[in-house]
Amino acid sequence: MNIAVLFGGISPERFVSMNGGKAVVQALRTLGHNVYPIDPALGADCIVDIDNIDIPNRAPTKSEWSNFPLRNLIDCINSSIFDNIEVAFLVLHGINGEDGKIQALLECRGIPYTGSNVKASALSIDKIASKLIFNATGIMTPPWIIARKKEVGNYEFLATVRAELGSKLVVKPNDQGSSVGVKIISDGNLDDINQAMVEALEYSNIALIEQFIEGREITVGIIGEEALPIIEIAPQEGFYDYTNKYTKGKSLYICPADISEDIEEFTKGIAETAFIELGCSGFARADFRLSEEGQPYIMEMNTVPGFTSTSLVPMAAKELGIEFPELCQHILDIAMEKKNEQKI
């Protein structure tokens, strides 16, 4: 097959995405496919020599990702490179890749792609929208309050937040991934909450202030509509921020997680329900906090989760005996089945 692997993009997760794209390109080539490594941030001249590029092991500076014109996304998908592409494998994380924009452009060109459609992608990356759906369908998610730029420096508002949600809080941008812009406030200090809100609002027009759930961090990968083995994530120190996610040795991953069978099945069921209620398809990953009482609280659904051979969804699939190239092929097969179903 002629496959375009899309990675990089215009996002604070650009470098993470490039690592995933490289892994997928290599895996698909081992299966005999004709693979085009494509970075949409580069516009019409978007084919990349993925084997010989230097990918920094850090988060990009704002200038390293935000200076690409958004018009480049249109120019890339509209280029002649896509004339013979049979399917696109998406490894684009965060805004301008996981939020429905690229999916919409591919649909306009009639090119099938991996993962969720435009609507499900947009809903899932919008943390507030997805939490509203969780609440409406009875799925437990931590209580939250919306914060906008007008609330910066409003200490009466911040005091209300603390009174309603408690002193231990999580402050995050509404539509980012990879823990970009996320801060944990442990003591309810109003100055710290305000500063965390300022930092979150650098990445999004809306910040989310959530009650922190004491307990363990677990994640559930989903392929098709079926949950994979649960993974527990245990950072060596602090919380599971960008550094602890992407620096080797900073976090311990336990797969399958050491939890009781009833909690495991209950959590998997929640992940599968959330996947369906958001309208997701293909593959995704649901992130949870498991309280000290054993109650799973869903945090968010990632419709384009990390996808190197050592990322969490591939790690869980490997527990079932599914190697990385086979997993990539399975995800492609689901995308092609979805295309065929739409023709009927």
**Residues identified as active-site:** 13, 178, 246, 285, 287, 300, 302, 306
Q: Are 113 and 106 in contact (CB under 8 A)?
A: yes
**Is 73 in contact with 82 (CB distance < 8 Å)?**
no
CA distance 164 to 321: 46
Secondary structure (3-state) at 42: helix
CA angle 68, 180, 105 (to 5 degrees): 45
**Sheet containing 169-173: which strands, arranged edge to edge?**
144-148, 206-211, 169-173, 183-185
Q: Within a 13 Å sphere around the CA of 296, how many CA atoms are in the beta-carbon half?
A: 27
Dihedral angle computed from the Cα positions of residues 113, 114, 119 and 121, in that order, rounded to the nearest 10 degrees? -130
Could you give the CA distance from residue 186 to residue 166 in angstroms, rounded to a whole number?
A: 10
Where are any strands of DSSP class E within the chain?
2-6, 34-38, 87-90, 144-148, 169-173, 183-185, 206-211, 215-223, 226-227, 231-235, 251-254, 283-291, 296-302
Q: Can you list the alpha helix ranges (DSSP code H) found in 223-260?
A: 242-246
